[in-house]
Amino acid sequence: MSAKRRGGGDNTMMQADLVIANASELLTCAADKPKRGKALSDLGIIRNGAVAVKNGLIAWVGKTSEFDFEASQVLDAGNRLVMPGFVDCHTHLVFGGGREKDLVRKLQGKSYLEILAEGGGILSTVEHTRAASEEELYHLGWRRLDTMLAHGTTTVEIKSGYGLDEMTEQKILRVARRLGRDHPMDVATTYLGAHAIPGGRNREEYVAEVLASLEKMRSWAEFCDVFCEKGAFTLEESRHILEAAKSLGYKLKIHAEQMTGLGGAALAAALGAVSADHLDHISERGIQRLARSNTIGVLLPGASFYLMQESRAPARGMIEGGAALALATDFNPGSCPCENMQLMLTLACLQMKLLPAEAINCATINAAFALDRAGAVGSLEEGKQADILIADVVSHESLVSRFGTNRVARVIKKGMLMQTGKTAEAGGGGGQRFPV
């Protein structure tokens, strides 16, 4: 495929490694700041769009009719949707064991404390994660990343939090960093030692342990997170931990207002946190504080869906109030065992009343801002990484309205065509790099 670029006086032949052409809709999701209000509905759609890739970066974006390149490989989108890869900005991907029996107990009407007493709940995951070898966690994590990649996620955050002791927390973060090095997926790491109070531990002593561990964990984690919730960590404990983390150079995140409204969202805004996540019980004051800040509110509709909660984040009120929002899976064994960002889009629309365009921006460019990576990923703009999806639908509305099957047909990561659709051991099969 070779021709001269049209539309001006410059007839210089342009070279590319890959061209994707003939997109029914090409969603750029372009933005230089988090999208809010009406801007959240703007996907930057180019009809009959095309994108050129050179050296793993996006070299040009526009209409298929307006440009042409000499390219090593051409992919005909065939009148299908082309868009940025999903950015999953909140997951707990590295863990051992499972919590399948917890669902049965919940359906039988048992409370969280009753489930804990029967050996379930978060402490069961802690037990299995402590017992798992680093290699076992690595291979489990690799397979989960493969599943995410096959469903269109190209950048992911991984939290610790299932160790609740220094040795295991560091083991989880080592695995996450290793996965980020070896797997095609980009991985951001977060230290979440303040996830729960371990069984039988004194609260004050454990908070002191978390504070003492921050400096040691800094080399393994970019972000520090705290679960600010009744039964977990108080508002003042969360402030103390996050302030100490900030002084050590961590970027901040916070689990806020999931079950009760303790004021975690306002705390996140006051401390300049990158994100405040969950927000099912956020107050009007919390919305106002987020709207006046650069903190992204990360919605996790899969968690409220799986936990069968009636309360959900007031997304429409947050958008109308001026807050910047993102979407993520919250992938974990207990409250959202789902790696599929496509399903999160549908749930956000059906249960939180987001429009399809809003949900897609929340899962791409705004999610990239929630990981402080919007300069590299989250949109299709010149100079950014070529993280691109071709979806087997004609329109962005169809991507959201059709659910239950994987609509992603092709995944390109940093300009490399990924082999997806099958799970394999680390180092082969799903997630393997194929040059184009």
- At 375-402, the pLDDT tens digits run 999 999 999 999 999 999 999 999 999 9
Residue 316 vs residues 288, 325, 353: alpha-carbon distances, Å:
13, 10, 7
Q: What is the pLDDT of residue 427?
A: 36
- Report d(CA 25, CA 396) in Å as an integer: 8
Please give the average per-residue pLDDT across 278-300, as a whole number: 98
- Report d(CA 4, CA 279) in Å as an integer: 51
Checking if the pLDDT of 424 tops 50, the result is: no
Q: What is the pLDDT of residue 2?
A: 39
Please give the average per-residue pLDDT across 289-302, as a whole number: 98
Helix (H, G, I), strand (E, B) or coil at 104: helix
To the nearest 10 degrees (0 to 180), the angle between helices 166-182 and 134-150 is 50
Please give the average per-residue pLDDT across 18-41, as a whole number: 97
Q: What is the pLDDT of residue 135?
A: 98
Residue 13 vs residues 4, 65, 333: alpha-carbon distances, Å:
5, 16, 52
Q: What is the pLDDT of residues 176-230, one digit of tens each?
A: 999 999 999 999 999 999 999 998 899 999 999 999 999 999 999 999 999 999 9
The residue type found at 351 is Q
Tokens 């959202």 locate to 336
Question: How confident is residue 11, by pLDDT bands cut at 50, 70 and 90?
Answer: low
Q: What is the pLDDT of residues 315-350, one digit of tens each?
A: 999 999 999 999 999 999 999 999 999 999 999 999
Q: What is the pLDDT of residue 3?
A: 34
Please give the average per-residue pLDDT across 98-114, as a whole number: 87
- Report d(CA 269, CA 255) in Å as an integer: 13
Least confident of 14-23, 72-81, 303-312, 425-434: 425-434
Taking the model in full, what pTM does it have? 0.94
Q: Which two tokens stand for residue 290?
A: 């987020």
- Report d(CA 39, CA 16) in Å as an integer: 31
